[in-house]
Amino acid sequence: MINNRNTGPTPLPPAVLDAMAQQPLSHRSNVFREAFAGVTAQLARLVNAPDPALLLSCSGTGGLEAGMASIISAESRVLVLSAGSYGDLLARIASRFTPALDIMNFTAGGTFDLAALQAQLMLARYDAVLLTHSESSTGVYHPIASVIAVIRAHSDALVLVDVVSSLGAAPIDMAEWGADVLVGATQKALMAPAGMAVVYLSVRAQRCIEQSSVCRDYMHLRPWLEASRQRSVPYTPAVNVFQGVAVAAALIFAEGLPERYRRHQEASARCRAFFADRDRVCCFAAPQHAGHSITSLYLSDALSASAIKSRLEYEHHIVVSTGLGPLAERVIRIGHMGHFTLEEIDDALQATAQVIEKESGGYGD
């Protein structure tokens, strides 16, 4: 039995697998329309969004691109806050839409400097600000409410937040945050199959999209927004993925959001406590910014993340993720999102410690 502790796609509950194995619904049937309306309303409750979620048949990255295509034009001036690989991804996507792009880079493992952000906002007028909530490369949760409060004090920019790996793992309040666009995905903490992006829009963002002079057929949110108001989709969706998402959403609310968030927080706390004060490895994220979705472990130079990953898989049947970019060999990432038990987390921690000890020459094979 594989203990899948990677960073997504995450394990699926049996009921979700069963739903995906059913014959596909016609996306133009009344049954689908009713199910679609119910699921998108449930997903909106998850983040206190003003309107039902939009479900696009693509990855979270596709959702980010569609979101940016809908609020950024060639004349827009955009600010990106980055403290890791997924902040860098936001900048890379945004660069396709506008040359007027400013990037504030912050130290990986930490979060954004609010004083520096305030100073930057006083230097230029921005049309959009892009940032991540859960930086999956480092395991950090950024303090989005505080960040957006600074933005709102100095700018009327639209704010897009990547919540791909935090949606369903931690409390998110779109209204309280003051965010305009949230982009998530189904294959992380929502414990659903890969294949759909989940997008939420503020009323202000909806007005911007409706008034935009540029509209693409697919990777733009206007067709999806217009169809959503009719409890429908503009194009054929990934129907069997949707059927899995429908069951997953019901399971999330059956567990109860407070209990669900406590379970994710406890998993994160166990990871951090287990690797506190150990030689050759430490938790990458600063304690006050540690997220509940992923724990990133920073390895000593003598260790290889890919070697540890391979050994965990072949010797212990545990799958983890390595780091990204320049951190590929320096970081091991342990996912604790969606459908998991705390016992599975404990098993993964024990095995990881054993493999690190072996790789360090602590005892023989």
Residue pair 54/47 in contact (Cβ under 8 Å)? The answer is no
Secondary structure (3-state) at 326 = helix
Q: How confident is the model at residue 291 (pLDDT cuts 50, 70, 90)?
A: very high
Q: CB 315: neighbour CB atoms within 10 A?
A: 13
Q: What is the pLDDT of residue 53?
A: 99
CA 242 to chain centre: 18
Q: What is the pLDDT of residue 365?
A: 40
Cβ within 8 Å of residue 314, ≥6 positions away = none
Secondary structure (3-state) at 187 = coil
Question: Is the pTM value of this prediction over 0.95?
Answer: yes
Amino acid at site 84: G
CATH of 3-8+257-359 among 3.40.50.300, 3.40.50.800, 1.10.3720.10, 3.90.1150.10: 3.90.1150.10
CA nearest to 179, candidates 218, 141, 133: 133
Residue 363 tokens read as: 């005892």
Q: Is the pLDDT of residue 22 over 90?
A: yes
Q: What is the pLDDT of residue 15?
A: 99
Instruction: Provide the terminal-to-terminal Cα distance of the chain, rounded to the nearest Å.
Output: 22
Q: Is the pLDDT of residue 364 over 60?
A: no
Domain spans, the chain: 3-8+257-359, 14-253
**pLDDT tens, residue by residue, 128-142:** 999 999 999 999 999
Residue reference for tokens 């069963």: 18
Q: What is the pLDDT of residue 174?
A: 99
Q: What is the pLDDT of residue 213?
A: 77
Q: Please give the CATH number for the structural domain made up of 14-253.
A: 3.40.640.10
Q: What is the pLDDT of residue 108?
A: 94
Question: What is the average pLDDT value for the chain, to the nearest integer?
Answer: 97
CA 257 to chain centre: 17
Q: How confident is the model at residue 362 (pLDDT cuts 50, 70, 90)?
A: low
| Mean pLDDT of all residues in 174-184 | 99
Least confident of 76-85, 101-110, 207-216, 250-259: 207-216
Residues of the binding site for substrate:
333
Residues of the binding site:
333
Q: CA 29, CA 27: separation in Å to the nearest integer?
A: 6
DSSP bridge pairs for 81: 104
DSSP bridge pairs for 181: 160, 201
